[in-house]
Every structure is written in C-alpha cells, then in structure tokens.
Amino acid sequence: MSDSKRGAARLLEVEGLTVTIRGAQCAARPVEGVGLSIKAGETFALLGESGCGKSMTALAIARLLPEAAAISGGRVMLGDEDLLALPESRMRRVRGGRIGMIFQEPATSLNPVMTIGAQIGEVLALHRGLTGGAARAESRRLLEEVGIPAAQERLDAYPFQFSGGMRQRVMIAMALAGEPELLIADEPTTALDVTIQAQVLELLARLQAERGMAMLLITHDLGVVSRMAHRVGLLYAGELIETGSREDFFAAPLHPYAQRLFAALPDSAARGRMLDALPGGVPSLAQGFAGCRFAPRCPQAFERCQIDAPGWNTVKNRNVRCHLYEGGNGILPQRQASKGTTSCLCPSSGSPVLEVSQLAVHFPVKKGLLRRTAGWVRAVDGVSLRLEAGRTLALVGESGCGKTTVGRAILQLAPPTAGEVMFDGAPLRFRDRVAVRGIRQAVQMVFQDPFASLNPRLSIGDILEEGMVSLGVGGTASVRQRVVDELLERVGLSAQMRWRYPHEFSGGQRQRLAIARALAVSPRVVVCDEPTSALDVSVQAQLLNLMCELQRERGLAYLFITHNLAVVRYMADEVAVMYLGRIVEQGSAARVLETPVHPYTRMLLAAVPRIDAETGACPSMAVVAAEPPSPLSPPTGCHFHPRCALAADACRTAFPAARELGHGHIVRCHLAKV
C-alpha cells in the first residue's frame, strides 16, 4: 500500500456496533461491540466461520437487517455522515450510491423476470438520474468494464442466460453503477471455479485501484484474503477478536482461533494424516457469555478464560482479544502446518471395484413447435475411469465440464448414451432393473447441496432409514433404528438428533447427514459431488477427517468431484482432469499436480491463490479472460485450443490421442512429449 493511502482519512468508521435479533423466548446478539475502520483505496477482510456474524455486520452497516433484527448500539460513520441517524428516505440514496454491495449468491439476488439492462437501469435512474438512451449506454459501458462480451446484446438477456461467473460480474456492474465510495463484497467467490474466482478477484482489484474505492471483503477463504486484503479482522461468535495487517496476520496469527484455522488447511504436506480440525462449532448467540467465547474449543484455555471476558491487548502493532497476551507476556507464535499425526491412509487392493469405459451422455436440444431435435449437448463424451477399493479418484475441472454428469450417469440418474460401467469386473446393463438396484446399493452419491437433497418433511431418522427400506437392506425396523443411531454417532452427531428435521442443522452437519445417508446401505463406492463446497475451513477439516476415517475402516472407494485443488492435494490418490466432456489428463495425484503437462491443468493450478507464509501475499495467480465454450457447439480439434496460448495448427483440426508418459500418467495434448 502506498504512503498516500496509509495517510488517507478513514472513509468508514464503525464503533461498538451491536445487533439484536428478537426471539420467541430470548434475544440473540449476532454482532456485539464490533469496531473497524477502512480508508479509501483499502480492503479490510472480515474473516471467520459461518455463524460468526460476518454477513450480519455488513447488513447492519448498510441498514439492510431482516425485520426481526435491529441495531441496538454503536455508531457507523461514512465520511462525515452518521448512517444510523439518517431517515430511511436518505439512506436509500446512500445504499446503492455511496455504498455498493455484492451479495453472496447472485442467482437469488438478481430479479429473474427482469433483463440485465433493466436491473442496472434502476440503479442508474435512482442514484445518477440517467434514463432512456443515456442509461442504456452507461449500462453497456459497465458490462464492458466488468468483462462481459457482446455487452450490447447481453443487456436484453435474463439472469438464467448467464453462467455463474457472468452473474457475479453483473452483480459487480450493478454495485458499481452508483459510483460507490465503499464496496461491500459478501463472499464474492464462494463456490466459484478457481479460474472464475481468479477473474473476479482480478476484476475487483483493478476496479478498486482505478476508482480508489474502500472495500469490506467478507469471506472464510484464507486464499482470497491473501490475494485481496490490506488489513484483516477475525470475527468469532459475534465478537472481533484479532485485527492487524495482512502480512502480520499470515506470518504469525496471534489468537488461538486464528492459529487453529491455519492448522486445519488441507494441502499435500498434510496428506496421510488427520487434519488438526477444530472441535465442536460456533456457540449459539442466544446465550450470555461469562468468559472468552472461544474457551470451550481452545486447547490453551485456563481457568480465567471460563470466567472473565478478555479485553484488547496490543502486540507489535496488532490487537488481540486474549488473556494470553495481557501485560505483553504472550509469546509471538509462528504459523505452522497441520499438527495431525494419526494416519488416514488406506492400503490399495490393486483390483478395480469400478471401471467406466467410453461413457457418453448426450442431451437433445429441442426447438420449434414440434419440439424436434436440433442438436445435442455432449455433456460427457467418451470418459474412461478406473477406481480401486480404498482409493480416492478426484475428478476436477471447471463448472459445466461434465463432472457431475459422470457421477450421475454411473448411478443412471442421468441415462448413459453410450459406454459401459463395470462393477467388480462384471458389466452392468442399465436396462436391467436388478443391475440398477444393485449398483445403487453398492454406489451411493453425496450431493453438492445437502439441504436440497434432504427431504424437509422427514425427520433425520426417517431419511436415513428410507434408503434401507427402499433397497431391502438393514433387516427389521428395530435393527434399522439401531443402525441409524450408530451412524449418527459415527458422523459426529447425537443419536437423539434422529427426531430433528434438516432445517435444524448447520451446513456442515447437513453434509455429515448426507454422508450418513449414503453409508446406511453399506456401499463400496461413494460419489462425492463437491462435498466441501462453501464450507468453512474448520468444518471442511472435520468432514475430510471423517471421510478419511471411514475409508480406512471400511475400504471405501471415493469418486471425489471438486474444483477445490487444495482438497485434491490432500485427499486424492489419482486425479482426472476434465474439460468439455472429455478427460485431458489423468494419473497419480503426485504426478498430475506436481508435474502437469496439459495446458488446461497448468491453467487450473496457476489460478489457485497461494499463501506466502512470510508476507501473507498471493505471489502469483494466473487469470484467463476467456470462458469455456458451450458444450452444444464445442470447438473442432482440441476443445481447449481457443483458450490455449500454445495452440498449433494441429490443435485446431484433430482431437489429440491419449499419450502414455509413464507411471500411469496419460495426457491428451498434441504438444506433450513422451
């Protein structure tokens, strides 16, 4: 950060902010006594687990709290203006004008029945007085500024006609339409591919530099913090517990909570042992706190932590709320990798339990009054995989490349167009109902969104029993109930929770329930579709530990579908890289991730934010401007050649044949050297 920015006046000043939510029996305080400041041109990252109050803090600053919530204390100053003292009529001018906001999920934030141009035009009319042709011209300029191609035509498109990354860019354009001084970005890259994430982060950094905006970045992704933040604030159970510069925070986090978050990060160095996961979860905020809020989960807690709430202590230009640093007696720690020691490796059986050969799934595109087939979407186009018992095969790639369709096709949830699936060496004929029933017991799926896949009208006990009853396993009702109780305990929940409903659980708990449901019928293969997507670092570590334990105990084989390459480095034995329905590189995780050959694999790895332990900076992160072409009309030759800087004439005319590079490392690239 430049000296001029360091000396700049504070644009946003928050002091003692407290939010209270009225309840039927008691009130909850999701935000209590939060104070922070942001200068013009500076990014302040608010970090913490889900349920810690990050989004509620942002909503309180913008005065967008839900009806049951109210600001019960504190002050919010934007420049010389006291936002909490403004009437709602004037606050509407500030909100969307001086303050822009990017919400966590653009699909639910954009109006589905209004065109993109109309939605941006609303902001321009309210905050800048632009209408008609002037508003349309400015809307087009904003879309071009955020990198949307064919902006003039896309103004008349609807949100469903955009990809996830494009919708996020539209949200950014709308937030910038009012020319804000402060941009609040609430999890702007959650669940995005690494390539789209890199594009969005690069776009935000560029626009901030050009406009001199202040930014409040809300995230639980430490990689995003390392790429974007100047200063960091760590929030736990509604309370800010550590603040400081990004460099200091990443080099030596002070609070035990911060240290445990770093220790829970998965990577190749932690492979083969259990992650140092935080026990338990964020406490309920509908209770009073006598001592330190983190004490029940803190390995360094002592008697005073249970009684007295710690105050702020200053350690080398940083502030930390912890008794360990009172009187300057705390020892400055060094950030370390996971300290987990228990092995989680499972020996390979050597024989495949599941083989997929030349699998294809093509979806017809119907047009016209008679709904005739006008084309085919080649979602999966000749995929071959081999999975051994006790091993994990990671299927990676960008959204839309066909990863999930592969998993669904194995279970015939998406009927295959061609190809063969072998289980224990015997071919499965999908027209045979007995074969389909058998594979659905032997191969189970954990879906990406557990809340959407769990029946909201059934109790958890009924949900876990449903599969056993349907497939005729588990014996009598009393035996099935005992199995359900044992499963709940096994995944870290209580047997008493069998009477609860899905909405009464957190996201991490629901993901555990989805795994328990898959295990209820004693499968041998589990297809995991983005099981850690959008989970906090701590909850993710708990889930990965559970999956490793179950694999070691039961010899489970995992087909792990993900775009989280850090998790792949930790979990996977083999990796297959998929692009537009085809596998372009596959082999052992060590070879594919450490010595990638295909340009697409190298692009994915280069787009991952990497944390420098000494500075906390993200030293390099490649950005690819182009988005994947449509699977409805894939490019000729190598599908990746329009995005490949190394593409030659051969790449544009013929799809490359598979090349064996040794040790099971296979690549489909004309430029690969054997």
Hey, do 3-112+179-251 and 352-593 end up sharing a CATH topology, with the first three levels equal?
A: yes
Please tell me the predicted confidence (pLDDT) of residue 155. 94
Provide the pairing of β-strand 426-428 with 312-315.
unpaired
CATH class of 352-593: alpha beta
**Distances from the Cα of 585 to the Cαs of 302, 480, 601, 640, in angstroms?**
52, 43, 8, 12
The residues with which 315 forms a beta bridge, in sequence order, are: 318
Whole-prediction pTM: 0.86
Please tell me the predicted confidence (pLDDT) of residue 612. 63
Residues 6 or more apart in contact with residue 551 via CB below 8 angstroms: 344, 346, 390, 392, 558
Structure tokens at 169: 């860019």
Could you tell me the pLDDT band of residue 460, with boundaries at 50, 70 and 90? Answer: very high
- The single-letter code of the amino acid at 97 is G
580 close to 631: Cβ distance less than 8 angstroms: yes
Q: What are phi and psi of 105, to 5 degrees?
A: -120, 100
Please tell me the predicted confidence (pLDDT) of residue 118. 96
Residue 163 has pLDDT above 80, yes or no: no
Which residue in 69, 73, 74 sits closest to 21, CA to CA? 69
Could you tell me the pLDDT band of residue 411, with boundaries at 50, 70 and 90? Answer: confident
Phi-psi region of 33 (alpha: psi -120 to 50; beta: other; left: phi over 0): left
Please tell me the predicted confidence (pLDDT) of residue 340. 53
Tens-digit pLDDT profile for residues 268-320: 778 878 888 888 888 888 888 889 999 999 999 999 999 999 999 999 889 99
Strand blocks (E) in 437-552: 443-446, 525-529
Please tell me the predicted confidence (pLDDT) of residue 406. 94
**Distances from the Cα of 328 to the Cαs of 193, 305, 323, 332, 431, in angstroms?**
43, 17, 10, 10, 72
Residue 429 has pLDDT above 70, yes or no: no
Residues 6 or more apart in contact with residue 161 via CB below 8 angstroms: none
192 close to 534: Cβ distance less than 8 angstroms: no
What are the extents of the domains in the chain?
3-112+179-251, 113-178, 261-328, 352-593
**Interhelix angle for 132-145 vs 116-128, to 10°?**
110
Q: Count of alpha carbons within 13 Å of 391, Cβ hemisphere only?
A: 19
Please tell me the predicted confidence (pLDDT) of residue 199. 83
Tens-digit pLDDT profile for residues 99-147: 999 987 777 789 999 999 999 999 999 999 999 999 999 999 999 888 8
Instruction: Locate all alpha helices (DSSP H) within 422-472, ordered by sequence.
Output: 433-442, 450-453, 460-471
Provide the pairing of β-strand 574-579 with 557-562.
unpaired
Please tell me the predicted confidence (pLDDT) of residue 4. 37
Q: What is the mean pLDDT of residues 348-359?
A: 85
Please report where in the chains the tokens 């970005």 appear, as a residue: 185
The residues with which 361 forms a beta bridge, in sequence order, are: 380
In whole angstroms, give the CA distance from residue 164 to residue 195.
12
DSSP, collapsed to helix, strand or coil, labels residue 75 as strand
Average pLDDT value over all residues in the chain = 87
On whether the 3-112+179-251 domain is CATH 1.10.10.10, my answer is: no
